[in-house]
Amino acid sequence: MMKLIERSLVLQRIRKYLGFNLFELLIVLAIIGILASIAVPSFISYLQSNRLVGTVDSLYYTLSYARSEAIKRNANIHVSLQAGSSWCYGLNVGSPCNCATANSCTLSTVSAPNTYLSLSTSGITSNSFHFEPNHGAAGVTGTITFTTTSGTATSMGVDVSLLGSLRVCSSQVSGYQAC
C-alpha cells in the first residue's frame, strides 16, 4: 500500500511539471522572432536572385528559339527590345516589331511582370537585331543585361556573338562567367 501511495505522489509531481509556463513561452517566441528577423532579409535576397536567374534563363531560351527558327524558316527573325524597368522583348519574322504593342510580335513577346528588374543593352544599336537564316548569325555583338532594382543591385546578362552564339554571364552571381 505504501508503494502505491509513493507512486501516486511521484506521478502528481511529474504532472505538475508537464507543459510550459507563460515566461518560458515568451522566451521561445522571442528567440523565434530574432531568428526570423535574421532569416527574412536572406530569404528576400535569395528570392530576388532566383527571379533574376529565371528571367535571364527565359531570355536565353527565347534567343535560342529565335536562332533556330531563323534557320528552320529560312527567314530573318528579328529580336526587338525595350529597355528600362517597363522592359519587354519580342520576336518577329521578317521585320522588327514593337514588343510594347499587343500582337505586334508574331512569334513571342515577354514583358516585365513587375518592376523588380530593369533591362539594358550594350553593343546593340536601336534595341533590335536579327538572326540570319544561313547559319543563325546575329550580325551584332552585344549584351542584354537585367539588373535588380531593389536591395543590392545584382546584374546578369546574355552575350550575343557575331555568329549568333549565346552565353549567360554575370560577375555577381556565382556559377557564371563574367560579362
Mean pLDDT (whole number) for 74-81: 94
pTM: 0.78
pLDDT band of residue 114 (cuts 50, 70, 90) is low
Residues 6+ apart with CB under 8 A from 135: 71, 163, 164
Grid coordinates in use for 38?
535574421
Does the pLDDT at position 2 exceed 60? no
- Cα 14 to Cα 11: distance, rounded to the nearest angstrom: 5
Residues 6+ apart with CB under 8 A from 74: 133
- Options 3.55.40.10, 2.60.120.620, 3.40.50.1980, 3.40.50.720; which CATH number does 22-169 get? 3.55.40.10
In this predicted structure, what is the pLDDT of residue 50?
A: 86
Report angle CA 59, 100, 57 to the nearest 5 degrees: 10
Mean pLDDT (whole number) for 129-154: 88
Residues 80-92: b if buried by 16+ CB within 10 A, e if exposed: bbbbeeebbbbbb
Instruction: Write out pLDDT tens, residues 28-44.
Output: 899 998 888 888 877 87
The candidate with the shortest Cα–Cα distance to 119, out of 164, 90, 149, 98, is: 149
